[in-house]
Structure 1
Amino acid sequence: MNPVDRALWYIESNLHDPLALADIAGVAQVSPFHLTRAFALRTGYPVMRFVWRRRLTQAAQRLARGEGPILHVALDALYASHEAFTRAFKAEFGRTPNRIRNTDDLAALCLLGPQPLRTDMPKTLTDPAVEAMPARIFAGLSKRYTLETRFEIPAQWGQYDAEGHQSAHVIPDKWYGLCYNFSDDHSFDYLCGQEVTALTTLPEGWAHVSLTPGRYARFATKAHISTMTQMWSEIYEDWLTRPDLKPRPGPSVEYYPAEFDGATGEGGFEIWVPVE
């Protein structure tokens, strides 16, 4: 069973008990850093937000069925008071618990049900090349994303191409996307651009990211760019659970060689992940 499946099983089995990220990661047999990345790629939620949304979903279903006083439902969902529960419930669903109790209408709520386990996830990547990478600098257009907005990244590439800016000292015919500055809520910065041999004045709105020397696992595929999310999930749910490929903090890299065609999404790409 992969780490996300272990985490999902543990969460569902212990949803009404206190849960902490470190404990869930321990059951998943990976580090909290690793689980955070893998879990978000699979579910679209940070681990603990998923836990609280599942609890609130179950609370909403109980309220609609008329089960028990609202305070009892709140305490079962591990909220300390009726007021705290009401605030969280309204922030999550846009309606108060009392309204759901009175109308028993869940149709307008975006509920989060149990997630299916994927122990049979197909493997498409071959063994990565692991190499000691020297210090490198990348420059380009950078924007911040959340789990909900990350699907807008292709539009960022479109803006980058349309603006046509070019930094001095650029290495031509190779393009990179870097994910970095991850926060606890799994928001992150994404830079699309190219490698440079030296830093000079950058165009307005651009940023640069430096990779410190260290080991990287390079996963290569000839698949269409639309499989990017699938590849990331496979890397974190399978490959990086192996003892010789433990992930470490640092920017991850999408590499697009000269053969990659941005118009069609064909030509293949690589994903580079920092490993110990």
Structure 2
Amino acid sequence: MGVLEKAVWYLELNIGRPFTLAELADLCGASPWHLTRLFQTNVGLAPMSYLRARRLTIAAEALAKGDQDILPIALDAGYGSHEAFTRAFAGCFGMLPSAVRLARTTCNLPLMEPWTMNKDMIIDIAAPEFRERGAFRVMGLSTRCTFETNSVIPKLWGEFDQHCNEIPSPVAGVYYGVCCDMEADGHFRYVAGQATTATHVPDGLDTVDIPASRYAVFKHVGHISDFNKTVYTIWNKALPDAGLTPAKAPDFELYDERYDPKTSSGTVEIWIPLA
């Protein structure tokens, strides 16, 4: 059982009891950062956000039966008051608990069902190469997003094309997409840029310093439209099957002469730092 599957199993089995991110990660033998990355990549929510959505879904189903008062359902969902539950419920579903109880249906609600692995996203990929790499700096443009809102990343690359000549002393011909600064709520910083030894950062640009590490290096080969399937397979199958644990450090995509931005096809390396 992979880390994400194990985490979902623990949460579903103990849906009513309090959990912290650190406790859940420890039960799954993963770091909080790794677990958050897995949830964001595959579920679109941070672990605790997923747990809240599942509890509110169960609450909605109980309300739709119409045979319980709202307060006991709120308490079962982990809320200490009717008011707190109502705010969370309305924020999640755009509908008051009392309205769902009156309607006796959840058919119009965006319920969160238990996560299961999407087998259609699992593809055949080559085993990783293992490489050591020293510390280096990437300079470019950055944005904050989640894996659910990462549609902003292609636009960022388009903007970077207009600014790449502003990077001092770049390593020519190689470009990096770096995922870093993962937060507990699933937000992270993505930097599109080039490696440089420069310390001066021109106005409007951003940097990320990547520490020395040992990496598992995977390859995506083909059109970039299938890139998400490669990433999904890496995090849900390739890493767990190989018994590899990612480190709490930036991971990155590497684009060089093997990738053609005009056709959006070629080879992209995906570097995962190892603990």
Scaled by the length of structure 2, the TM-score of the pair is 0.90
Between 101-110 and 41-50, the greater mean CA deviation after superposition: 101-110
Structure 1 stretch displaced more, 206-215 or 178-187: 206-215
Once the two structures are TM-superposed, the CA of residue 157 in structure 1 deviates from its matched residue by: 0.9
| Letter in structure 2 aligned against 1:41 | T
Contact 1:5 1:118 in 2 (8 A): no
- Structure 2 match to 1:97: 97
Instruction: Identify the residue that residue 39 of structure 1 maps to in structure 2.
Output: 39
SS of structure 1 residue aligned to 2:253: strand
Opposite residue 212 of structure 1, the aligned amino acid is P
**Matches of 1:231 and 1:42, distance apart in 2:** 12
Residue 105 of structure 1, CA deviation = 5.0
Instruction: Give unpaired runs (5+ residues) of structure 2.
Output: none
Q: Report the CA distance shift for 1:196/1:61 in structure 2 as closer, same or farther (over 3 A).
A: same
* Change in CA separation of 1:13 and 1:224 when aligned onto 2, cut-off 3 Å: same
The amino acid of 1:273's aligned partner reads I
For 1:1-276, what aligned pairs fall within 5 Å after superposition? 1-104=1-104, 106-117=106-117, 122-163=122-163, 165-202=165-202, 204-241=203-240, 245-276=244-275
Number of aligned pairs? 275
CA deviation vs aligned residue, 1:188-213 (integer Å, no higher than 9, x gap): 111101111323342x3210111122
CA shift at 1:28, angstroms?
Answer: 3.1
C-alpha distance in 2, partners of 1:109/1:9? 24
Moved more, 14-23 or 113-122: 113-122
1:67–1:22 distance in 2 versus 1, CA, 3 Å: farther
State the secondary structure of the residue aligned to 2:114.
coil
AA at the equivalent of 1:131: R
Q: Distance in 2 between matches of 1:136 and 1:82?
A: 52
SS at match of 2:260: coil
Contact 2:4–2:35 under 8 Å retained in 1: yes
Q: d(CA) in 1 for partners of 2:108 and 2:138?
A: 45
1:184/1:200 Cα in 2 relative to 1: closer, same or farther (>3 Å)?
same
Deviation at 1:267, TM superposition (A): 0.7
Aligned partners of 1:106, 1:162: CA distance in 2, in Å?
A: 48
Counterpart Cα distance in 1 of 2:162 and 2:238 = 36
Q: Is this contact kept in 1: 2:122–2:232, CA < 8 A?
A: no
Query: 1:93-129 CA deviation, whole Å, 9 max, x = no partner?
Result: 2222112222335344322122224579745222222
Q: Deviations over 1:160-206 (max 9, x none)?
A: 2245543121111111101111111010111101111323342x321
Cα RMSD after superposing both structures: 2.2
How far did 1:46 drift?
0.6
Contact 2:180 2:190 in 1 (8 A): yes
Q: Give me the whole-angstrom Cα distance separating, in 2, the residues matched to 1:201 and 1:63.
A: 55
Gaps of 5+ in 1: none
For residue 78 of structure 2, give the secondary structure of its aligned residue in structure 1: coil
Q: SS of the counterpart of 2:270?
A: strand
CA spacing shift, 1:79–1:161, aligned 2, 3 Å: same
- Output the amino acid matched with 1:247: P
Amino acid paired to 2:8: L
Which letter maps to 2:269? E
In the alignment, the residues of structure 2 paired with residue 25 and residue 233 of structure 1 have an alpha-carbon distance, to the nearest angstrom, of 20
Letter in 2 for 1:81: S
73-82 or 224-233: bigger deviation: 224-233
Contact 2:57–2:111, Cα closer than 8 Å, also in 1: yes
Tell which deviates more after alignment, 68-77 or 146-155: 146-155
Q: TM-score, normalised by structure 1?
A: 0.90
Q: Cα deviations across residues 24-69 of structure 1 (Å, max 9, x unaligned)?
A: 3344333332222112211111111101101101111221221300
Instruction: Name the CA distance, whole Å, in 1 between partners of 2:109 and 2:123.
Output: 35
Percent identical among aligned pairs is 36
CA–CA distance in structure 2, aligned partners of residues 77 and 201 of structure 1: 48
